[in-house]
């Protein structure tokens, strides 16, 4: 009988010895390898899913800074009343009584800054500045001054709207987003009446009203260049001396001709109602309805990853 070479015996010992030790320890190497393979496969699937989600998000860019500048064609109606102590003033229709144009063109601007993936800071403003001259067909009492029928009166109205909001997104699938917003809205209203027939008769009243604001913001990309958005904001305050309400509804769309530059169109409905304003501020009431169609130019600053998706 031939002897087995000693070299072969040594190799078999080194091969079998670890296997025997593993069996003695109660671990099946085949089962262990299977579990290890399952773990690796699960990790690979999670990585692929994250990559897939990241790919969806980067396919529809989310800029870190967006600038809007444009003009609005407006339909504006409203009235104002300023009392003198306990004596009520005349409710003045700003178009019929003062001769203001009903369809002024306004400038408007909007800035949106994004920090992180789910947070925005937004600033929005528009300004109304109108002048008119009208011969009154009735007596009008404005504050402590009465303007008699037949007098020629020059009027100047200024209305400034400013809103600063923090926007937090609770839903984001990369293509569509939805968010709640909190902020502050400031309305500055000023009306001056000057009697051109009797120059000594003139009166001016103004009021500054800051209000807390809540709202909702939603947007979706229809494709890589067309973005549809909608914003609803409500501002209000009620107390013994104040009854203030401001509502803004603003749907619009943006189409990007280039990766950074686009044009947009938006509709804006605004309602402002101030009642029971205290005497030291205004002692009266303001009502304003605002409808506007705006054309805006849009410039956005994209992140590096988003720039590649737009090429």
For residue 230, the model assigns a pLDDT of 96
For residue 242, the model assigns a pLDDT of 74
∠280-286-270 over CA atoms, to 5°?
135
For residue 235, the model assigns a pLDDT of 94
| CATH superfamily, region 62-309 | OMPT-like (2.40.128.90)
pLDDT at 187 exceeding the cut of 70: yes
For residue 20, the model assigns a pLDDT of 44
For residue 281, the model assigns a pLDDT of 64
For residue 111, the model assigns a pLDDT of 94
For residue 214, the model assigns a pLDDT of 96
Percent pLDDT > 90 in the chain is 34
For residue 269, the model assigns a pLDDT of 93
Per-residue pLDDT tens digits for 226-274: 999 999 999 998 877 678 899 999 999 999 999 899 999 999 999 999 8
Q: Return the domain boundaries, the chain.
A: 6-52, 62-309
SS (H, E, C) 203-219: EEEEEEEEEEEEEEEEE
Q: Give 311's pLDDT tier (boundaries 50, 70, 90).
A: low
Per-residue pLDDT tens digits for 4-36: 555 544 444 444 444 444 444 444 545 555 556
Whole-number mean pLDDT of the chain?
80
For residue 42, the model assigns a pLDDT of 56
Per-residue pLDDT tens digits for 201-214: 888 888 888 999 99
> 82, 66 in Cβ contact below 8 A?
no
Region class of 150: left (phi > 0), else alpha (psi between -120 and 50), else beta: left
């Amino acid at each position: 009988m031939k002897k087995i070479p000693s070299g072969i015996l040594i190799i078999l010992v080194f091969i079998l010895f670890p296997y025997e030790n593993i069996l003695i320890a109660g671990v099946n190497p085949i089962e262990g390898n299977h579990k290890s393979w399952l773990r690796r496969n699960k990790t690979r699937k999670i990585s692929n899913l994250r990559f897939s989600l990241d790919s969806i998000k980067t396919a529809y860019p989310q800029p870190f800074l967006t600038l809007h500048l444009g003009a609005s064609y407006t339909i504006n109606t409203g009235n104002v009343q300023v009392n003198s102590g306990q004596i009520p003033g005349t409710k003045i229709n700003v178009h019929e009584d003062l001769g203001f144009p009903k369809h002024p063109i306004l400038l408007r601007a909007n800035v949106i800054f994004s920090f992180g993936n789910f947070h925005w800071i937004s600033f929005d403003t528009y300004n109304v500045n109108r002048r008119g001259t009208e011969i009154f067909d009735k007596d009008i009492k404005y504050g402590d001054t009465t303007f008699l029928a037949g007098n020629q009166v020059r009027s100047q109205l200024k209305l400034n709207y400013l809103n600063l909001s923090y926007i937090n997104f609770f839903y984001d699938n990369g293509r569509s987003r939805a968010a709640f917003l909190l902020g502050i809205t400031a309305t500055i209203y000023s009306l001056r009446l000057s009697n051109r027939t009797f120059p000594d008769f003139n009166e001016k009243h103004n009021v500054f009203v800051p209000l807390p604001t809540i709202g909702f913001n939603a947007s979706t990309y229809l494709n890589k260049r067309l973005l549809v958005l909608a914003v609803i904001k409500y501002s209000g305050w009620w107390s013994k001396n104040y009854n203030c309400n401001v509502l803004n509804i603003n749907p619009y769309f943006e189409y990007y001709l280039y990766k950074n530059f686009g044009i947009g169109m938006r509709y804006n409905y605004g309602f402002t109602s101030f009642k029971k304003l205290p005497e030291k501020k205004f002692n009266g009431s303001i009502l304003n309805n605002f409808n506007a169609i705006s054309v805006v130019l849009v410039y956005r600053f994209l992140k590096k990853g988003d720039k590649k998706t737009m090429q």
